[in-house]
Chains A and B, each alone.
Chain A
Amino acid sequence: MTTVLERVRSGREAAGERWRSAPRWVRWALLIAVIAFFYALPNREFYQYLGPIPTPGANFTQVMFTVSIYVLLAVGLNIVVGFAGLLDLGYFGFFAVGAYTVAVLTSPSSDLKTLWPWLLAVPVAIALTMVSGVMLGTPTLRLRGDYLALVTLGFAEMIRIAAVSSEFLKGQRGFNQIPHPPGQYADGRPVFGVLDARPYYWLVLTLIILVVIGVRNLTNSRVGRAWISIREDEDAAQLMGVPTFKFKLWAFAAGAAIAGLAGALFAGKQNFVNSQNFELLNSIIILAAVIFGGSGNIVGAIVGGGLVAYMIERFRGIELFGVELYEYRFLFFGVVLVVMMIFRPEGLIPNRRRAAEFKDRRKEVTVGE
């Protein structure tokens, strides 16, 4: 067992080493091939040749849109959890704030009756999620320990309850006729329609790429160094002159803004937003996805978010001994997580630093005994 594990581990390390030592053009070519693959993926002409990959029980293009939203969320949460080391258990709450801001400003069912176009509501949604992130973070990020986890958990639950029971947010009835993103083909048909999910998927995919480029630049800067130092040892970071509170707040607000963007995209695609979209479980799934992929690593977060969202949908429509596997999807998910945490706590594609931190922590445990 262990030897198999070790062989897998050393195999992956060798792969990582080969990637890092490969010439620049090889890496670029591979990267472009991967991106091209994902742009092509929702086309039936392409995915029909991919064997078991398309989902049998659901429209594959729709699934890919959901997956892309989860990937965007995972990239955002990775800033908070992975880089700055802050435990945010209510990340989906910010997604809800983004979606509801768009709904309230654009939908004819809204009491405001502002009927804004979608595009105008998006920056407001992002700004508002950022503000709610700052409001939530300002009192809690000064404190150490588990306060943030509790407060974010409470926040997400508060948003959900407000969505369910407040008259303004329309509960189960929800908001309908939320406008789609703008754009028309030459023949006058809208690009972003009701039936075809591909343009939405491509839009989210493009935004993911832009966000990842931004996050990468940030993490390679002084800001990124500050975040990593806070995650590794907050006291030491402060002693080296890092304004820890400010940088934690920044990470938290940046993560919130990305979730707000995802919520706005979701609302613009769905056309309809109601209180059923925002269960607590979603926050946990995204957090698990980030940890599963390897928190602190952007590629890990993308793979984690994508795989988790995809696997959950993949179970749909598969029957085994007369039971629909989809019913048990979270059971499988839980088992996989537990196994991962035992054999590979640093995630599928860990950050190299992060792996060293884990080793260090293990050493601390043994020394403390």
Chain B
Amino acid sequence: MLLEIEDVSLLYGRIQALHGISLTVAEGEIVALIGANGAGKSTTMRAVSGIRPVASGRIRFDGEDITKLRADLRVRRGLCQAPEGRGIFPGMSVLENLDMGAYTRRDRAGIAQDLNRVLELFPRLAERRKQPGGTLSGGEQQMLAVGRALMSRPKLLLLDEPSMGLAPMLIQQIFSIITEINQQGTTILLVEQNAQQALARAHRAYVLETGRIVKSGTGADLLHDPSVKEAYLGVA
């Protein structure tokens, strides 16, 4: 397993946001984590990327225990997140943003190669390379956030609601790019409220409800599960 989360709980002060969740991601997979607003999806991501300490439980990545490892060192191990709400650097140009994605790397040749790859994946970004990130449209910022995370050449890419606030056309586009990234060899843990698309693209998925995993299965299974249909797919 590339990522193993075992019985992880997390507290915000006295509010418990995660109640002992466990999930795994195998190499090469797209695993989706779906759930309503406030279920704890972003919190799970924060626990994995290390910007919030967990209260109990263990997180293993690539065979090593990273539960207590600092966030920036996890990036060096090959774990990179595109944060919720884009979280791009607004004053930096598109290229500078992408360059920040490669902050932990020093192999110039490899970085240049990955830059080309990202600009090929996202031609819009190539057109706007000198523009400050803050002046991009919502969809472009989302692409920049994904592209920037790719620049670290992660083993595991964490995506927190990459389709949030996008027009339907762009949602399609971003999801096909996610599939493409995966087919090029990057493992992906994907958090989404857009359950329909996420389940259709994911190999496996987990359903999170108020800080607990209540269901898991292959994407296709959950897509046809009656209770999932009712709760998350808007079908009665």
Please list the residues of chain A having a beta carbon within 8 angstroms of any beta carbon in chain B. Answer: 222, 225-226, 228-229, 232-233, 235-244, 351-357, 359-361, 363
Query: In the assembled complex, how far is the CB of residue B190 from the closest CB belonging to chain A, in whole angstroms?
Result: 16
Beyond contacts A239-B71, A239-B75, A240-B75: 20 other A-B pairs, Cβ-Cβ < 8 A, are A229-B89, A229-B92, A229-B103, A232-B90, A232-B91, A232-B92, A235-B87, A240-B100, A240-B103, A241-B76, A242-B72, A243-B70, A243-B72, A244-B72, A353-B92, A356-B132, A356-B135, A357-B91, A357-B134, A359-B90
Decide yes or no: A359 and B134 within 8 Å by CB, A229-B89, A354-B91 being known contacts: yes
B: which residues have CB within 8 A of A? 49, 51, 70-72, 75-76, 80-81, 83, 87-92, 96, 99-101, 103-104, 132-135, 148-149, 152
* Shortest CB distance A348–B (Å): 18
A228 to B90, CA, bound (A): 11
Of B91, B132, B152, the contact of A241 (CB 8 Å cutoff): B152
Whole-angstrom CA separation of A222 from B99 in the bound complex: 11
Chain A neighbourhood of B83, CB < 8 A? 235-236, 239
- Chain B residues near A354 (CB, 8 Å)? 91
**Contact call B87/A239, Cβ cutoff below 8 A:** yes
Q: Which A residues lie within 8 Å of B89 (CB)?
A: 228-229, 232-233, 236
**What would 21 A/B residue contacts be, using CB atoms closer than 8 Å?**
A222-B103, A229-B89, A233-B87, A239-B49, A239-B51, A239-B71, A239-B81, A239-B87, A240-B152, A241-B72, A241-B75, A241-B80, A241-B104, A242-B72, A243-B72, A351-B91, A356-B91, A356-B132, A356-B135, A357-B91, A360-B134
CA distance A215 to B71 in the complex (A): 28
Chain A interface main SS type: helix
Shortest Cβ distance from residue A213 to the other chain B in the assembled complex, whole angstroms: 23
Max chain B CB contacts within 10 Å: which of A222, A236, A353, A359? A236
Residues of A within 8 A of B100 (CB): 225, 229, 237, 240, 242
Distance from B8 Cβ to chain A, minimum over Cβ atoms (Å): 19
Question: A226, A240, A242, A359: which contacts B148 (Cβ < 8 A)?
Answer: A240
Chain B nearest CB from A68 CB (Å) reads 30
Docked pose: A243 CA to B104 CA in angstroms: 10
**Residues of chain A with a CB closer than 8 A to B76's CB:** 241
